[in-house]
Amino acid sequence: MLRIGIVGLPNVGKSTLFNALTSAGVLAANYPFATKDPNVGRVNVPDARLDRLADIVKPQRTVPAAVEFVDIAGLVKGASQGEGLGNQFLANIRETDAIVHVVRCFEDDDVLHVMGSVDPVRDREVIEFELALADLATVEKRLDRTRRAAKTGDAEAKAELAVLERAHEFLKEGRGLWEAKLSAEQLAVLQPLSLLTSKPILYAANVTDAELTGTEGEHLRALRAAVESSGEPAEIVPFSAKIEAELAELPPEDRGDFLASLGLESAGLDRLIRAGYHLLGLQTYFTAGEQEVRAWTIHGGDTAPKAAGVIHTDFERGFIKADTVSYDEFVTNGGWKGAREKGVVRSEGKEYVVQDGDVMLFKFNV
């Protein structure tokens, strides 16, 4: 399951967003450190195709794909040195696939800003610096070990050493690893370290309501310019924590009308999840049986056995073949039966690269 960590300075709207995401009842309060304990919330991935499949198959249950959000305690300057809430924070974001960095772009004199003023460009740098320092500590620890191993002539250790030294150069200046523009091969060497500044970042820009439909304000524009000129491979998703909170209180069937009344097409949460899928190159395939219609998340380029492995590792190991039909053909032909009669169900083998929206039925040895 996709796991996304929510980070950001205190009082930028993290808990408000997190509450809205999960309705988990985390305390949102107007003081720093309100979110001391990490909280995990599971959110369904909205996908209209799944509902359409369920209409056709009429299964006993419908299971959407899910994303796990980890709300992590506010990061303050110096957190990585153990001054703030650093250590637990760092342990929690290490286990995530991507990071949502909530930045405050709204002005409100009633809401204290820990750094004294609203300035998302500075806030981005503060957090990046902290993440880089945390990575620096990890890399330095590893460097010691690898240097010793390299001295014994170990070829693998020598190769790793070169990559670690390159990473070290950037991190020691408080610069994120993404700035080092490492090759896929080099990144693979660093993979086991789960370095924070090599994770994809989504900036969730908490803007005023008016900015979502009207002209972008100066803070959002400044953030956009800073991210673009830096070349950071990140996405910016403007949202309003306030609107998300109001939305979460409505029954699901009323949410569309509420959004429309504000001139919005989709909730910030949906846009965040979509951006996360896009940033991580994720896609969806479906299983559609009478018991269960379900969406599964895989990486673009995954083969059929790999996709089967998301359901169960036995499915991957014992994979024989997969009956496969595109979502469109499945729907047009009214389900498995019609699609088979029409001859649009293919039998795919081990090499097949799963396409977004494929409906699949796996055959495997146990």
Element (H, E) at 363: strand 359-364
Nearest approach in angstroms of CB 295 to ligand GDP is 30
The CA distance from 205 to 105, in Å, is 6
- Four-point Cα dihedral 319, 321, 322, 324, nearest 10: 150
Supply the DSSP symbol for 193: G
Region of 24-32, 85-93, 142-150, 155-163 interacting with ligand GDP (CB under 6 A) = 24-32
Q: Which is nearer to ligand GDP, 14 or 199 (CB)?
A: 14
Region of 103-111, 228-236, 254-262, 309-317 interacting with ligand GDP (CB under 6 A) = 103-111
Which of 206, 283, 303, 333 binds ligand GDP (CB under 6 A)? It is: 206
CB atoms within 10 A of CB 343: 8
Build a one-symbol-per-residue string for 25-64: x at contacts with ligand GDP by CB under 6 A, - elsewhere: ---xxx---xx-----------------------------
Which of 108, 165, 169, 254 binds ligand GDP (CB under 6 A)? It is: 108
Which of 69, 89, 106, 330 binds ligand GDP (CB under 6 A)? It is: 106
Nearest approach in angstroms of CB 309 to ligand GDP is 36
Q: Which is nearer to ligand GDP, 123 or 135 (CB)?
A: 123
Half-sphere exposure (Cβ direction) of 171: Cα atoms closer than 13 Å: 23
Q: Is 289 annotated in some ligand binding site?
A: no
33 Cβ contact list (under 8 Å, min separation 6): 10, 73, 74, 85
Examine residue 210 and tell whether it contacts ligand GDP (CB under 6 A). Answer: no
The CA distance from 294 to 62, in Å, is 6
Build a one-symbol-per-residue string for 233-272: x at contacts with ligand GDP by CB under 6 A, - elsewhere: -------xxx------------------------------
Q: Which is nearer to ligand GDP, 10 or 41 (CB)?
A: 10
- 299, 282 in Cβ contact below 8 A? yes
Q: Is 12 annotated in some ligand binding site?
A: yes
Q: Which is nearer to ligand GDP, 8 or 84 (CB)?
A: 8
- 102, 12 in Cβ contact below 8 A? yes
Q: Is 15 annotated in some ligand binding site?
A: yes
Q: Is 365 annotated in some ligand binding site?
A: no
Examine residue 137 and tell whether it contacts ligand GDP (CB under 6 A). Answer: no
62 φ, ψ to 5°?
Answer: -120, 125
How many residues of this chain bind ligand GDP (CB under 6 A)?
21
The CA distance from 79 to 7, in Å, is 12
Nearest approach in angstroms of CB 109 to ligand GDP is 10
3-state secondary structure 120-183: HHHHHHHHHHHHHHHHHHHHHHHHHHHHHHHHCCCHHHHHHHHHHHHHHHHHCCCCCHHHHCCC
Examine residue 92 and tell whether it contacts ligand GDP (CB under 6 A). Answer: no
Nearest approach in angstroms of CB 104 to ligand GDP is 8
Q: Which is nearer to ligand GDP, 6 or 139 (CB)?
A: 6
Q: Which is nearer to ligand GDP, 12 or 190 (CB)?
A: 12
Q: Is 206 annotated in some ligand binding site?
A: no
In the sheet where 61-63 sits, what is the strand order?
61-63, 292-299, 282-288, 359-364, 319-325, 346-348
- The DSSP bridge partners found for residue 287 are 294
- 276, 202 in Cβ contact below 8 A? yes
In the annotated binding site, the residues are: 11-16
Residues in contact with ligand GDP by CB under 6 A are 8, 10-16, 28-30, 34-35, 74, 106, 108, 111, 206, 240-242
